[in-house]
A and B are shown apart, each in its own frame.
Chain A
């Protein structure tokens, strides 16, 4: 099997670990969200969102735990949307010429950058989960160690596909843009609606009709569905609502993410094949 993408991956990770400051900076925002917004909202919401009578054996999930999945999603979204920026820097510094003139296939350049972006997301997600558990997020309620391992694998699967999709998108934009400012603008434009028209912070079934439709088309919703399924369970109560995720729902969400990532890959591949340096 051709492993050329590992070269690109190696360099990008080398730079990532050389500038650990970036990793810490990227963890500050999600930590603050959980520590302040999460804890504050929890203390309010949980007073009135607790159903008067829960059916026996039902699982009630406090808001902090509910939104922790959303914070993981938010962090992954940002990191992935920014992931292509290293391509832009390479372009601006002229480094891209070395790579584009070398025998490494363009698809491997895309793959290498995307996989290193995915790895960065994984590192963040794991750190956020640990941080969350420390401040009172109750993930994996009553699960055995084996279950927890499977659940974490499931979460990483959803996070991975989602982040690849957005990394492909970000790489495409970066290859077509001239400056990092341009990418920044696009990211700001995209991230707000993606984040708020989703189930990351609140249930979507009370949205107006059009927003509900948009949230179903939103990859973020599908990733959050996956994370909650594995981190909390298929059947729980939160924010006064009853959440049921059947295995079919889960598969549909997985399929939606795969389709999204597939389309983004196709667009990115086409862009990379035609890339020239001016």
Chain B
């Protein structure tokens, strides 16, 4: 990929016996929004920590914005910004001081810095809390402040590790808009999230990662198409037996437990497969409570590739 701004080759990192990242390779194009989806403990944050120079590289190579992360960490740090998954706010400082400190860390020039601080406080609606210490903010307000802080410096690459965790719906939507705006202005974004709608709306490309390995990469459309045009959701008296029966049907690609029923990926048109499936289940004496046809969502993709429900 010639226009890759992040280039990761065969990256691995272990904590003792735990292989947190186990041979990962991927590229992120300049200017795109790239997402990592994966269950808890999949290795998303560990990857971000390595890409942001916070953890040493044990195996593999990583280049960010043309610099080698292992040998030129200081140059890499000039190019990046991060919103961490965990809270990283000084409880004793005020909202304004948090942003002022951050702007100064990134050598933002005074006038521009103060203008941007006002703008960011407005964006996340914390202007009224300007001189309030962090320990007196609600959880969501703290998260909003961290997002504001991450977005204020306009780095080349911005890492967002589950940025909208714990935000109310309105704030999430506004945050999406702003992430898009920052992205339109040229910042490449590396996102992790457990919200499939968020990944679907924002990402240009998505990698699904589990057990420290990338399982599949593509646009949201490509990933959904991998499951076929249609999906069928079934609730039966005996899901376990139903799963076996389904495995023997030609037009069924794959059936996985989902919610209280089964999520069935099929080849071809759903409207044609559905009667066949229902027939076969009935023949085995399995009662059907409900059956519905739907377009695959990213949730289905996630379940399909990781074999589990999202454990947010």
Residues of A within 8 A of B (CB): 4, 6-7, 10-11, 14-15, 18-19, 93-95, 97-105, 276-278
Contacts and interface: CB of A to CB of B under 8 A. Distances in A.
Contact of B77 (A11, A19, A101, A276): A101
A97 B93 contact: no
Contacts of A18: 92
A94 B84 contact: yes
B106 A103 contact: yes
B93 A101 contact: no
B90 to A, nearest CB: 6
Contacts of A6: 104
B78 interface: yes
A104 B105 contact: yes
Interface of B: 49, 52-56, 74, 77-78, 80, 82, 84, 86-93, 97, 101-102, 104-107
Contacts of A99: 105
Contacts of B97: 11, 14
Contact of A277 (B55, B77, B93, B104): B55
B77 A102 contact: yes
Contact of A7 (B49, B86, B101): B101
Given A94-B87, A276-B55, A278-B55, A103 B105 contact: yes
B74 A97 contact: no
Nearest to B78: A103
Contact of B89 (A14, A15, A95, A278): A95
Nearest to A7: B104
Contact of A97 (B56, B84, B90, B106): B84
B101 A11 contact: yes
Interface centre among A7, A19, A102 (most CB of B within 10 A): A102
5 contacts: A11-B93, A11-B97, A98-B88, A104-B105, A105-B74
A95 B77 CA distance: 16
Contacts of A93: 88, 90-91
Given A7-B101, A95-B88, A101 B55 contact: no
Contact of B56 (A4, A7, A105, A276): A276
Given A103-B74, A103-B77, A7 B87 contact: no
Contacts of B88: 93-95, 97-98
A111 to B, nearest CB: 14
Minimum-distance CB pairs A-B, first 6:
A7-B104, A102-B105, A94-B88, A103-B78, A103-B77, A277-B54
Contacts of B78: 103
B105 A7 contact: yes
A277 B49 contact: yes
Contacts of A276: 54-56
Contacts of B106: 102-103
Which of B56, B91, B105 has the most CB atoms of chain A within a 10 A radius of its CB?
B105
Given A94-B84, A94-B87, A98-B88, A103 B54 contact: no
A167 to B, nearest CB: 20
Nearest to A102: B105
B100 to A, nearest CB: 9
Contacts of A97: 54, 82, 84, 88
B90 A100 contact: no
Nearest to A109: B105
Contacts of A101: 52-54, 77, 80, 82
Contacts of B54: 97, 100-101, 276-277
A11 B97 CA distance: 8
Given A97-B54, A101-B52, A10 B90 contact: no
A4 B84 CA distance: 23
Given A10-B104, A94-B86, 8 more contacts: A11-B101, A14-B97, A93-B91, A94-B88, A95-B88, A98-B84, A102-B77, A276-B56
B137 to A, nearest CB: 15
B74 A15 contact: no
B151 to A, nearest CB: 14
A11 B82 CA distance: 20
A104 B74 CA distance: 8
A4 B78 CA distance: 13
Contact of B93 (A7, A14, A100, A103): A14
Nearest to A106: B74
A122 to B, nearest CB: 23
Contacts of B87: 94
A210 to B, nearest CB: 43
Contacts of B91: 93
B168 to A, nearest CB: 24
B92 A15 contact: yes
B107 A4 contact: yes
A18 B97 CA distance: 13
Contacts of A102: 77, 102, 105-106
Contacts of B86: 94
Contact of A98 (B49, B53, B56, B102): B102
A95 B52 contact: no
Nearest to A11: B101
Contacts of B52: 101
A97 B52 CA distance: 10
A276 to B, nearest CB: 6
B104 A95 contact: no
Nearest to B87: A94
A4 B103 CA distance: 11
